[in-house]
Amino acid sequence: MRRQTRALGGAGVLALILAGCGDAKPRLHRGPAPSPSQVSVAMEAKPRLVETVVGGTIGRAVADAKREYLAIFSPSGRLIDMDKNGLQYLGQGACYQRIKLIGVTTQILWAAWLTQATTPPFNVRPSGNSFVYRSLSGSVTVDPHTRLIRAAGTPALPGGVRASTAAFAYPSSISERPTPTPICP
């Protein structure tokens, strides 16, 4: 670190400290937690989202609101539902039923997680470089700088409902485009 200090000068060292580089400790956020409505606004502004779920009825979901595209896959990787160009292709056993659709939004993938985690009574606590919103129904981890959801989870419930967790990614583009075949008559 001393060599870096001499080579970079005062401004460079300040940048390293603020970015957390050259230090083994994670950078802690020292400001207020974003409100659930601020998280919603940030999430709605993101046109593309990939959600990976463990323990749920879906395994992965990919959405691109700008291109009117949504694909939902089972935990085994089978295409369950696809919305594309104003049409929904819904898995009906051996074929996909085609239905007219109004539009695609990423909100279908994240809104329920946020609602569950912020249903009163809930609390918000800092955790490393994130904030965790937690209620009896679930939790959501939010990046305080981008206000985007990083991860979410729900607890196991009596009656055999398994706990589930989700990780969220925000790619600049989505290239996977499966084809739902065959189409039901």
Query: Averaged over 54-66, what is the pLDDT?
Result: 93
Query: Averaged over 8-35, what is the pLDDT?
Result: 47
Three-class secondary structure of residue 178 per DSSP = coil
- Using an 8 Å Cβ cutoff, are 64 and 109 in contact? no
Higher per-residue pLDDT: 29 or 164: 164
| Pick from 27-36, 47-56, 60-69: least confident | 27-36
Query: Averaged over 159-181, what is the pLDDT?
Result: 90
**Predicted confidence (pLDDT) at residue 55 exceeds the cutoff of 50:** yes
**Predicted confidence (pLDDT) at residue 185 exceeds the cutoff of 90:** no
The Cα–Cα gap between 144 and 35 comes to 10
Q: What is the pLDDT of residue 153?
A: 96
Above pLDDT 70, what percent of the chain?
Answer: 84
**Predicted confidence (pLDDT) at residue 16 exceeds the cutoff of 80:** no
State both tokens at 110.
Answer: 């994240």
- Using an 8 Å Cβ cutoff, are 94 and 77 in contact? no
Tens of pLDDT, residues 92-115: 888 999 999 878 889 999 999 999
Angle between the N-to-C axes of helices 36-45 and 107-117, in degrees from 0 to 180, rounded to the nearest 10: 170
Query: Averaged over 74-97, what is the pLDDT?
Result: 91
How distant is the alpha carbon of residue 120 from its chain centre? 22
**Predicted confidence (pLDDT) at residue 26 exceeds the cutoff of 70:** no
Confidence of residue 150 (pLDDT cuts 50, 70, 90): very high
DSSP labels, 137-166: S-EEEE-TTT--EEEEEE--BTTTBPPEEE
Burial class (CB in 10 A: 0-12, 13-18, 19+), 65: middle
The Cα–Cα gap between 148 and 164 comes to 19
Q: What is the pLDDT of residue 6?
A: 35
Average pLDDT, the chain: 84
**Predicted confidence (pLDDT) at residue 53 exceeds the cutoff of 60:** yes
Three-class secondary structure of residue 40 per DSSP = helix
Phi and psi, residue 8, nearest 5°: -90, -25
